Every structure is written in structure tokens, then in C-alpha cells.
Amino acid sequence: MARVFITGSSDGLGLAAAASLLQDGHSVVLHARNEQRAADARAELAQAETVLIGDLTSRAETLDLAERANQLGRFDAVIHNAAVGSSEQRRIATPEGHSHLLAINVLAPYILTARMTRPRRLIYLSSGLHRYAEASLDDVDWVTRPWNATQAYSESKLLDTAFAAALARRWPEVLSNSVEPGWVATKMGGADAPDDLSLGHITQAWLAVSDDPGATVSGHHFYHQNERDRNPAATDPDFQNALIHGLEALTEIRLPEQVA
């Protein structure tokens, strides 16, 4: 039995992945951004180990979430599922002045990864739109550029994809991969999304716990349990290193080196 922590798991794909893992006999810790959503998650999946609460737009709450997760003991896998989508308006959501989208999609998974006890497996939710993102780390918070929600979302998912690949190089003892769930009809995806919702959570759950040879790899990118091509920047070591340096500067949190 594996223990899995899933961010953004009070509804949508995170909740679906949790339900699937619980049905297969694994232990799952859920995450919600506030008390009401935590209550909803508990009502939906009473068999979950617990629900941790933390607003991922807040650096302080994200750090506290990492600490409370650590108090529960080491996880076998962490699925970084929480995200906001391509219809977001740019709005400042953190005391540090970062946008809502960057804080949730990029900074929060980085902070949790840096501060949580290192699990055996890490899974980061990406998007097919990351292939169309500009491979630049200038103005990742869209301070000087005119806001383009789709491009900002696409860039955030490129950064997530590159970060997953960077960790595979930096932490060889951890299996770190990224996943495209498809454009599915969640609240974020919208009612008209064309992909199969029932398949949207399968790959991340599989990567979290399966001993299949296809799931026990690192530094790969998946769509429906099959490897998929990436934006070339995501696999560029120079881009990955620059990304980590940039995230360290933005968060003032250093990413630990490889375990000796």
C-alpha cells in the first residue's frame, strides 16, 4: 500500500485520482484551500486519511502546508495537481506581489517540493498547451507584458514540465514525471472540453503507485499512460537550471541538492 498526497484534491481530477487510489487500497491525504472545501472533500471521500488545508496563493500557508504534511510522515508519492486555468485575469494574490496564476501553478509546487520530505515519486500536472509557450524566463509574472491568459497558463505549464524533468536529473533517487491529463470537462476545463473526463486522472494515479515498467521511469512526460513529446525547452538542462535559480530567487527558498 502506498501513501499519496494530492494537492487540489477537493474536486475535479485531484478528487478523481484520490478516489481511484483509495479504491485500490492505497492511503491518500487530500488537500483543500479552505475549511468549506475540506468539508466537501471529507464528505466525498470519508475513507481518506485526512485533509490538509492551505491556500496555495500564500507563501506562508504553503510553507505551513509542507510542514503539516511532513508531520504525517514521508509519502510514497506526491501529485502536484492544483492549478488555475487559461481564463484567469491577472491579479495580485500574494503579499510578495505575485500573480494568482503563477503562485498556484508554479510557485506552490516548487515550495512544497523544496520543503516536504522527499517522496519516492513526484508527479506534476502539465498541459498540451505547454508546447506553444515561449521558452523565456523573463517576466514570468507578467509585470511588464500585456496580460494574455492563455499564454500565461501555457508558460506556467512549461515551467512545471521543465521542473519535473529538472528534478529527475537533480534527484536521481526520485521518480519525477509530468502528465497531460487532456482537455477535460472539469471546472477549469469547461463544459465543452473534448477529451474523456474518465481518463483524465488515470495516468497520474498510475505513476504514483504502479510497479509497471512504464510507470517506474523518471524524467518523462505522459498522456494517457503513453509518453508524449515536450516543448524542447523542458528537456534543456540550461533552461532547467535557470528555472530553478529563478524559482529560488522568487520564493527565497533553496531547492535541496541530491541526497548524498
- Tell me what pLDDT residue 237 has: 98
Helix or strand run (H / E) with residue 27: strand 27-32
- Tell me what pLDDT residue 8 has: 97
**What is the residue whose three cell numbers read 502546508?**
65
Question: What DSSP letter does each residue of 78-92 carry, written as one string?
Answer: EEE-----TTPPP-B
User: Is 157 designated active site?
Assistant: yes
Q: Which residue type is seen at 213? A: P
Helix or strand run (H / E) with residue 67: helix 59-71
Model confidence at 187, pLDDT cuts 50, 70, 90, reads low
Given a cut of 70, whether residue 135 has pLDDT beyond it is yes
Residues 188/153, Cβ–Cβ less than 8 Å: no
**In angstroms, rounded to a whole number, what is the distance separating the alpha carbons of residues 124 and 146?**
28
Model confidence at 137, pLDDT cuts 50, 70, 90, reads very high
What are the structural domains of the chain? 3-251 (3.40.50.720)
Given a cut of 60, whether residue 73 has pLDDT beyond it is yes
Q: Which of 44, 9, 46, 47 is nearest to 30 (CA)?
A: 9
Q: What is the pLDDT of residues 237-257, one digit of tens each?
A: 999 999 999 999 999 999 998
Report the pLDDT averaged over residues 21-47.
97
| Catalytic residue (one of 132, 157, 187, 223) | 157
State how far the alpha carbon of 68 is from the alpha carbons of 8, 22, 71, 161, 194, in Å: 16, 21, 5, 26, 38
Given a cut of 70, whether residue 228 has pLDDT beyond it is yes
| Catalytic residue (one of 110, 153, 187, 223) | 153
Report the pLDDT averaged over residues 216-232.
97
Model confidence at 198, pLDDT cuts 50, 70, 90, reads low
Given a cut of 90, whether residue 86 has pLDDT beyond it is no
Given a cut of 90, whether residue 80 has pLDDT beyond it is yes
Q: Percent of the chain beyond pLDDT 70?
A: 92
Q: Which residue has the higher pLDDT, 65 or 189?
A: 65
User: Is 153 designated active site?
Assistant: yes
pTM of the model: 0.94
- Tell me what pLDDT residue 97 has: 84
Given a cut of 50, whether residue 173 has pLDDT beyond it is yes
Beta bridge partners of 180: 223
**In angstroms, rounded to a whole number, what is the distance separating the alpha carbons of residues 84 and 189?**
10
Report the pLDDT averaged over residues 204-219.
98
